Amino acid sequence: MKPIQILATAMLTCTMAGCHNSGKINYPEAPQDGTVDTIFGMKVSDIYRPLENDTAPATLAWVEAENKVTQDYLSQIPFRKAIAERLTHLNNYVKRGVPSRENDGKYYYSENDGLKNQAVIYRTDDPLSSEREEFLDPNSLSDDGTVALTGLSQSKDGKYTAYTISRSGSDWTEIYVMDTATKQLLPDHIEWAKFSGAEWDGDGFYYSAYPRPEEGKEFSNANENHQIYYHKIGTPQSDDTLVFSDPANPLHFHGAQVAGKNPVMFVSVGGQGVGNALKMRSNGGWVTVAPDQDYETSVIDVIDGKIYLLTAFGADRRRVMVADVANPGRENWRELIPEGDGVLKGVQLSGKDLYLTYEKDASDHVSIYSLDGKKKSDVKLPGIGSVGFSTSSKYPEDVFYSLSSFTSPATVYKFNPATGESSKVFQPEIEGVNLDDYVTEQVFFTSKDGTKVPMFLTYKKGMERNGKNPVYLYGYGGFNVSLTPGFSANRMLMLENGVMYAQTNLRGGSEYGEAWHEAGTKMKKQNVFDDFISAAEYLVNEGWTSSDYLTIEGGSNGGLLVGATVNQRPDLFKVAFPRVGVMDMMRYHLFTIGWNWASDYGTSADSPEMAKYLLGYSPLHTVRNDGTPYPAIMVTTADHDDRVVPAHSFKYAAALQAADTGDAPKLIRIDSKAGHGAGKPMAKVIEEYADIYSFMFYNLGITPGSVTGDSKK
């Protein structure tokens, strides 16, 4: 009966108070020092510079005060607790990953039986059987679930298994090693690795790491000099051998890959372009395979002296090339599978077949080719959505994949290469939720310059175009990242309460190849904001919603998107969530790996023109201060975010709160022991979305009627 009482109270309170904040909030005063930078003759104010020091006492005091203001506000929302309870119920279902047959001949997969903070890794002799054993439980690595498993890698003989972890959401990686058969933890332990797994070769593995950072600045100082080491099992990290380093280019990333039965080592070099260079180890030295970072190039595998490559060189939508190990330079590459209509997202080897995953209009399609480049067949997928394949060159009969969509959780299938048929291995079920009640359609709208842009709309069947439907619009638009259909249990809470979820495929992503990506970069970045604004206008003009019911959200580069579009069109939105966003475009390149984003953004140090362009849309620097009403805004960030440092959100929130933008709340939610988002424990995910959805419904003036599990509103 308790949830029903909460709902009844919520309905009464919202009726009387209008479900929105009606008074001004007393925000904490942020530390400031009056800093003004001169950039190519332009005076650029940065008065909240002290907030960049995230360990300073003044910053810590401000963070504590801001969190108190935010929690005081959220605690007054009468249905917040009921939303958290409903989200807990919606997430309490079994989720299983795709089985993978490893070098020891056994199958491994992840599973969360409901509300565990982290998924558990299981091992079995038969993935179709219920018999299995627990191999590794990341929940045992911490008391609060903030240690996340980020990767598993088995030695070529299957004797050892290396696993990588992240603590509190940081990008810093630690590597541990187990005896695969006994599951005994070995003494080997690697620290300060980053953007790296364990790449096995013989009795050890390669990994990429940075020099140990300055104490107290582990999560903010710029990372430079990425190096590759070789670690031999049974030895301390201090004895590891430096294999690859490039001190002349401290802002490069370096990643190792070992391919082929007769192991060949490759090093990918990135960080200063849209793609990567590629080098191959040969006779104790290095031979160039791909000479520059202008195109993405990756090694699929090495077979019978031939290197199979996936590349964007000469193909905006990517193609497959082949080169001889004896003569691997780009000038000697031969085309194996030409560029197709869709964007080639990935290629996997299974025995003597290549499985190619193409993206067409933001959904996945899979084709099978032989090693001589001839197409054999298409995989008949059981639906439209996003697919993830698991194949093995050693065990070609073992092909598994998952398929998910906006209205279907990830379902696992086994594919039979001989018959071309798929059989269901595992399908999740969410108690009390009928997914057939919802529908997804894809539409194309026209952006400001006439470009057609796709968008997915997911909503409850029977929704009318009355201009009063709440809509939650999500976008990203950058770094060659494509937004394809995917399921979210949290999102179901919105859908069952009559909210439409709209996901748009903005320029800057990879949906239509490199030209689509390039059209949203550097001095064309405004195209991305125009696309997002046009998406919102389309939803209004088509009668789905109005500005009084429109919420927008984006994270990281998408946080920048939300911040910029709110400043440009504050009248168009009612609620906004800029999450872990890049908000200071004049200084982003000075923190951790921010310099890596220059290929998409450009930097304020590049030229007067680039600096002026960045200043023209930088969310921190373009907040209005003239009484223009802004939507209700809740910024989100985390104390261990060393991808987009929290200083971005700190300074932006301080500027918002100090500006004259009307009485709608401008809050910041600062999570602790959390990072950019990956590996966040289930408990924290539920807490965060309970706050986000509570804030949204409250400021839309809507009571979420399903929070008790009752479909009535």
Quick: pLDDT tens for 223-234: 899 999 999 999
Q: How confident is residue 592, by pLDDT bands cut at 50, 70 and 90?
A: confident
- Specify the pLDDT at position 10: 30
First to last CA, the chain: 17
- Between CA 307 and CA 301 the distance in angstroms is 6
Of 226, 676, 694, 706, the catalytic one is 676
User: How many other C-beta atoms lie within 10 A of the C-beta of residue 249?
Assistant: 14
Positive or negative: CA dihedral 360, 362, 363, 364: positive
Of 298, 556, 599, 706, the catalytic one is 556
Q: What is the mean pLDDT of residues 102-110?
A: 97
- Specify the pLDDT at position 170: 85
Q: What is the DSSP letter of 450?
A: S
Say how far residue 397 (Cα) sits from the centre of its chain.
32
- Between CA 251 and CA 597 the distance in angstroms is 11
> Does residue 460 contact residue 550 with C-beta atoms inside 8 Å?
no
- Specify the pLDDT at position 665: 98
User: How many other C-beta atoms lie within 10 A of the C-beta of residue 319?
Assistant: 19
Q: Which helix (H) or strand (E) holds 494?
A: helix 489-496
Helix pair 682-700, 57-75: axis angle to 10 deg? 60
- Specify the pLDDT at position 264: 97
- Specify the pLDDT at position 672: 72
Q: State which fold the 95-214+223-251 domain adopts.
A: Methylamine Dehydrogenase; Chain H (2.130.10)
Q: State which fold the 2-89+436-700 domain adopts.
A: Rossmann fold (3.40.50)
**Residue 621 annotated in active site:** no
Pairing label, strands 120-124, 107-112: antiparallel
- Between CA 470 and CA 495 the distance in angstroms is 10
- Specify the pLDDT at position 24: 83
At 252-287, the pLDDT tens digits run 999 999 999 999 999 999 999 999 999 999 988 999
Across all residues in the chain, what is the average pLDDT?
93
Annotated domain spans of the chain: 2-89+436-700, 95-214+223-251
Structure tokens that stand for 158 in this block: 């299957």
Residue reference for tokens 């970072």: 293
User: How many other C-beta atoms lie within 10 A of the C-beta of residue 27?
Assistant: 18
Structure tokens that stand for 703 in this block: 């009571």
Query: Has residue 124 got a pLDDT over 80?
Result: yes
Q: What is the mean pLDDT of residues 538-554?
A: 98
Query: Has residue 15 got a pLDDT over 70?
Result: no
**Residue 640 annotated in active site:** no
The four Cα atoms 143, 147, 149, 154 give a dihedral, to 10 degrees, of -90
